[in-house]
Amino acid sequence: MTEPLRLAPGLVSRVLTRAWAASRRASVESFDEASRHPRRAQEQWLSRALPSLGGSTYGKAVGLDGATSLESVRRAPIVQWDDVAPWVERLANGEQHVLTTEQVLVFERTSGSTTLPKRVPYTQGLLDDFSAATGPWLDDVFRTFPALFRTRQYWSVSPAVRAPETTPSGLRVGFEDDTEYFGPATRFAMKQLMAVPSTVTKAKTVERWRDETLLHLIEADDLGFISVWNPSFLTVLLEALLSRWTTLESRLSPRRRVALQAALERSGGLSGETLWPSLQLISCWTDAWAAEALPGLRRFFPRTPLQGKGLLATEGVVSFPLWGQPAPVAAVTSHLLEFEALEDAGRPARFIDELRAGAAYSPILTTRGGLVRYRLPDVVRCVGFWRALPLLRFEGRLDKTSDLRGEKLSSVVVESVLRETLRRVPVQFVLLAPSLEPTPRYVLFLESDVDDVTAKRVAESVERGLLKEYHYRYCRELGQLEHVTLVRVKNARPKWLAAMQARGMKLGDIKPAAFDTSTGWESRLD
């Protein structure tokens, strides 16, 4: 792959970004209309999607063949990934028209609710529906920060190092390029305006990827926009920049080196804002656990505006941010959105115009990728409305998954690792839980009669087991997480039960568990 042409700020970059803005016009206008009439917009989306969904093997099996209305979709069951996985496997093995009559272009990988990763099928319709959300979001960003028309950008979507993968039928797993989530015009503009070329992601090691990424970023004196997922990703990158500054500086172009030396003398220290005086905005997760990582990011960017991302899963998009709103807005033009009220268990899922301010919901998606009434294991709270659309704040996950820095450790994975590790080790109590102090990591609380050397080996074995999980290993390689730490405890079981009761659980209802997603266990088990 040839590296895209790098553009200096000026007329050419302004022309590109404005052409890019023009390509978003249709999605912006559609969303503007939908924001005032969401029910009608959902009906229009469904009329486009039902022929391909209802004509599929799965659609016929759940009664969508011939369906014409929002209400008729409710004939289909609400499902989770484990329900869908066998159907996706048939697609991966080469069977056609399993979930949709649209052609599957690629599978994108994400962590699953079992030890096996999910492989989500992507069709052109699903890609178009992602663009229906990213278009209005980016239009709002550029309208709010017009100086971005004269700058370049850094986006981090795909993992830095990823081995090529295909399905048994030969379909690619994983996007080759971060820009594949977007439409053709957007992809073209982004490739030209990227501060870091996509070829960097093909580095053979994390260390090589890190240094090459940093060199491109430091050279980009016109960097205006940074988009990452977990804020700690950017923090770790900047910490590496500080520790390797002498080596990296020696590889800079003479022009940039001289300009930076002058900037550092004026500012009195190295910071993100010294490196990139044109930086307008950083987009990253800011809700739930991600909020814990924001102080670290602010050490490098004390003044740069931050914008929280909406709820965008590999399976589909639920919401996206608009500047100045207290929470992201529902992505009404992307998929059919239903919401199961957590306070009203057993009642039918609500459509987008039936949500109530203050209530918590679990989103249910029907997408043109072939997922029908698919429940995401996430919790959003409606905090109000923008026009006729609910504003949805992400509050966490329903499944027992810990996600401090993007590692996505599920109870299924953790408890399997612990069972395997402790098969021949007598224990009175064991618990793995996240900790933020002194640095993010997982702590193994162990009560056992074994000696300290054996206990240490147990913790090392747990670490090796967790490293088999892709996302955990990736966070460890990037330095976002430290290795598993051992803490030996005494008389821990009654202390653990007392903590569960303090959460409002009845003693008889407390299920044995070796994994907890909350922090603070050091003090509870002391």
Domains of the chain and any CATH numbers: 125-308 (no CATH), 401-524 (3.30.300)
Residue 178's pLDDT is what? 61
Q: Which of 125, 104, 123 is nearest to 167 (CA)?
A: 104
Across the chain, which has 526 residues, the per-10-residue mean pLDDT values are 43 65 84 97 96 96 91 93 94 95 90 57 95 93 93 74 76 74 75 85 81 94 92 86 92 94 87 94 87 85 96 94 97 97 82 95 97 93 97 85 88 86 90 92 96 96 95 92 96 83 56 83 93
Cα–Cα distances in angstroms (integers) from residue 492 to residues 147, 451, 453, 524, in the given order: 57, 18, 21, 9
CB atoms within 10 A of CB 185: 15
Q: How many CA atoms lie within 13 A of 345 on its CB side?
A: 0
Residue 496's pLDDT is what? 85
Residue 4's pLDDT is what? 42
Rounded CA gap, 326 and 347, in Å? 28
pTM: 0.80
